[in-house]
A = this chain, B = another copy of it.
Amino acid sequence: MTSNREIHLASRPRGWPTEENFRLVETEVPTPGPGQIVVRNQYLSVDPYMRGRMNDVKSYVPPYALDAPLDGGAIGEVVASEAEGIAVGDTVLHGLGWREYALLDATAARTVDPSLAPVSAYLSVLGMTGMTAYAGLLEVAAMKPGETVFVSAAAGAVGSLVGQIAKLKGAGRVVGSAGSPAKVERLRALGFDAAFDYHDGPVRDSLKAAAPDGVDVYFDNVGGDHLEAAISAMNLHGRAAICGMIAQYNDTEPPAAPRNLALVVGKRLTLRGFLVRDHGDVREAFVRDVAGWLREGRLSYDETIVDGIENAPAAFLGLLRGDNLGKMLVRV
């Protein structure tokens, strides 16, 4: 084996991160102890929530440590095993990304079948990304057929699946917002009934034009003015599933919006934050539905692939800027 390379957090970003917050570190390829495996990572998942873990604040996951490798979803091939039930050559999903070789307890890895789908799909449509879209839309927001759904960051990994799943589950109208004309074009190709570029004017105005009869379900990936616009547009008994607020992850001042929250009373709105980890109960339905839709060619998923562990920080910065279409991945 050759040496191992991994990305460390060199310093905590204030506001927007830069390349200087990261450091490429060369180490030895680890050797497994009893019950352990070593995985040569093939794909690393790059996700917005990672920004929060770069701050030194208490949250639902501990902050990343300084001068230590970052972590996150990854998939790869087992190259050494001292564990029962996992063999060299197996493909496994695990949580130690941001490095070329991962040493982990076999219990922290899940074996997947690489012949069923491209392995990268296990980090996107068939993985946490897809299940976030599915659980948020159908369980947290409890979308019903005929309803109007609005999703922000709709050309992103989660958003593009939310919109398509909404249509597949009978939504009356699906509206998405995104950050470029090309993304808006892509949303139309994916079957969104309407889409707009949020740079084109106040979100509130664009949303009103795209959903003239109001919004029943809002899937929030953005926060800020998107959430404010959605609250204004929501119909009686509307529900917002709040998945993330990427618009403000790099803010150094608390955001001013939404300023119209009092509307939740008269309209009886529900705003509900969620993490996919609480929704394991939908896994069975999720796998059945999504595998079926993929087989039938009714569900598309986009990937933006950056090559090389050394470019993982650039991939992450690109994700925060919205450079990606669909899932942002690093191919090792």
Q: Mark A53-92, 1 if CB is under 8 A from B, else 0.
A: 0000001100000000000000000000000000000000
Smallest CB separation, A194 vs chain B (Å): 24
A271 proximity list for chain B (CB < 8 A): 264, 270-272
A1 proximity list for chain B (CB < 8 A): none
- Is A272 touching B266 in the complex (CB atoms < 8 A)? no
Q: Which of A16-24, A167-175, A255-263 binds B?
A: A255-263
Residue in contact with A266 in the complex, picked from B254, B263, B265, B275, CB distance below 8 Å: B275
- Is A254 touching B264 in the complex (CB atoms < 8 A)? no
Q: Mark A233-273, 1 if CB is under 8 A from B, else 0.
A: 00010000011110010000011101111111111111111
User: What's the dominant secondary structure at chain A's contact region?
Assistant: loop
Q: Please report which residues of chain A, range 264-293, place their CB below 8 angstroms from some CB of chain B when the two chains form the complex.
A: 264-275, 278
- Determine if A227 is an interface residue (Cβ-Cβ < 8 Å): yes
- Determine if A223 is an interface residue (Cβ-Cβ < 8 Å): yes
- Is A254 touching B260 in the complex (CB atoms < 8 A)? yes
- Is B267 touching A269 in the complex (CB atoms < 8 A)? no
Residue in contact with A242 in the complex, picked from B248, B254, B265, B273, CB distance below 8 Å: B265
- Is B265 touching A274 in the complex (CB atoms < 8 A)? yes
Residue in contact with A261 in the complex, picked from B60, B236, B258, B269, CB distance below 8 Å: B258
Q: Mark A22-58, 1 if CB is under 8 A from B, else 0.
A: 0000000000000000000000000000001000000
A271 to B234, CA, bound (A): 15
A267 to B58, CA, bound (A): 11
A273 to B262, CA, bound (A): 8
Contact A266:B60 (CB < 8 A) given known A259-B254, A260-B254: yes
Most chain B beta-carbon neighbours within 10 Å: one of A266, A272, A273? A273
A274 proximity list for chain B (CB < 8 A): 265, 268
- Is B275 touching A262 in the complex (CB atoms < 8 A)? no
A223 proximity list for chain B (CB < 8 A): 261-262
- Is A273 touching B268 in the complex (CB atoms < 8 A)? yes
- List the interface of chain A (C-beta within 8 A of B): 52, 59-60, 223, 227, 236, 242-245, 248, 254-256, 258-275, 278
Sample (14) of A-B pairs whose CB atoms are under 8 Å apart: A60-B236, A60-B267, A223-B261, A245-B262, A245-B265, A248-B262, A254-B260, A256-B259, A265-B274, A268-B273, A268-B274, A268-B275, A269-B273, A270-B270
